[in-house]
Structure 1
Amino acid sequence: MKRIYLSLLAVFFAATTFAQIETPVKWSYAAKRISPTEAVILVKATIDAGWHIYSQNVKEGGPVATSFTFPPSKDYVLVGKPMEPKPVTKYEDAFKMNVSYFENSAIFQQRIKLKKAGATTVKGKVEYMTCNDRKCLPPDEVEFTVSLSAK
């Protein structure tokens, strides 16, 4: 009897754990050389219908802005800040302010200048917050690695 109880408890726990995980944003990454010494890192968010992520430019008191961090590298330096497409800007009652966000998809671009010729790997991390018209999920962080081949 104890085995049956423990088995049922394990199944219930597993089912409720899987049922609670929501991942309305999928991330993909690529790199494109634009010259022998420069490249662009492309970070794409594919967002499920009804959900959105926020711009990098959110006023204080609003939701968690999307942000990128890149650790220092001996192979490249960042050129400027990550660029983003034009966001939708609307008033959100949850934050009592106008906020800028992306629906469906957004491609962020970070230019880099290479310090040496050859292949390199770019590592980074994106932090973001996802909301829909009923709720917001806790902020999340995703680490990524992009390979840039030699040209």
Structure 2
Amino acid sequence: MILFLLAGFQVYSQKQISEKFSKTVDKAVKALNVKSPPVSDPVSVNTTLVYNDDKTQVAVIVKAKILQGWHIYAYVPKTEPYIQYKMILDAPKTLIPLTEWSKPGSYPYEDNIFVYKGEVIFTRYFSVKGVTAGTKISAGLAYQTCDIKQCLPPNTKVKELKL
């Protein structure tokens, strides 16, 4: 019964996001430029905000490019030593979440580990109430990146954005 109620809540909250706004966010995702990462730093991250027409909702977009041959960890069992990615969001409490972070498809790796490769996009929608213009938020990604031979130290890439 509880799962049914939770599922219903999630569907309800997603219905609050108009199709027009969703399409606007999709266009912004495609337009968001992320530099190609160098071998010395195999993950590049960029973020942006997108408002709906009446500025009552905002989408936070975090887009990353992972250099070919490298990966970050989408899911790591507690028995494994790798560090799973974590979304970073420092925002005022007046931003009310409408959805959880959307997650890209992951790839099975080994020992029940899943990884992200290539380009990955995370999006989360919020209701905007009582936020003053120019309020700053920080959004980004914390991760560990590895290739077949090595793992680099954990890293966090965050960008400050103005509401």
Tell me if both proteins adopt one fold, taking TM over 0.5 as the criterion: yes
* Mapped partners of 2:136, 2:108: distance in 1: 35
Task: Report deviation, 1:26.
Answer: 0.5
In the alignment, structure 2 segments of 5+ residues that lack a partner are: 1-38
Partner Cα separation in structure 2 for residue 143 and residue 33 of structure 1: 20
TM-score normalised by L of structure 1: 0.69
Determine which of 38, 41, 49 is the counterpart of 2:60. Answer: 41
> Where does residue 9 of structure 2 map in the other structure?
none
Please report how far the alpha carbon of residue 65 of structure 1 lies from its aligned counterpart in structure 2 after TM superposition: 1.0
| Amino acid paired to 1:115 | K
2:78 aligned residue (43, 46, 60)? 60
- Matched with 2:129 is 115
Q: Distance in 2 between matches of 1:147 and 1:32?
A: 11
Residue pair 1:74, 1:115 contacting (<8 A) in 2 also:
no
Question: 1 CA distance for matches of 2:154 and 2:79?
Answer: 15
Q: CA deviation digits over 1:7-51, x for unaligned, max 9? A: xxxxxxxxxxxxxx9200011111122453211111111111111
Counterpart-to-counterpart distance in 2, 1:125 and 1:28? 8
Q: Distance in 2 between matches of 1:71 and 1:30?
A: 14
CA distance, structure 2, for counterparts of residue 58 and residue 115 of structure 1: 36
Match of 2:116 in 1: 102
Aligned to 1:24: 42
Greater relative contact order (CA < 8 Å, ≥ 6 in sequence): 1
Gaps of 5+ in 1: 1-20, 92-96
Q: Tell me, in whole angstroms, the C-alpha distance in 2 between the residues paired with 1:74 and 1:123.
A: 13
TM-score, structure 2 normalization: 0.65
Aligned CA RMSD, in angstroms, stands at 2.3
Equivalence for 2:156: 141
Alignment counterpart, residue 144 of structure 2, candidates 113, 116, 129: 129
In the alignment, residue 51 of structure 1 is paired with which amino acid? W
CA distances 1:75-127 after superposition (whole Å, capped 9, x unpaired): 42333432211111121xxxxx1211111110111222211366443213421
For this pair of structures, how many residues does the alignment match?
122
The structure whose residues are more often strand, as a share, is 1
Deviation at 1:72? 4.5
DSSP-derived class of the 1:81 partner: coil
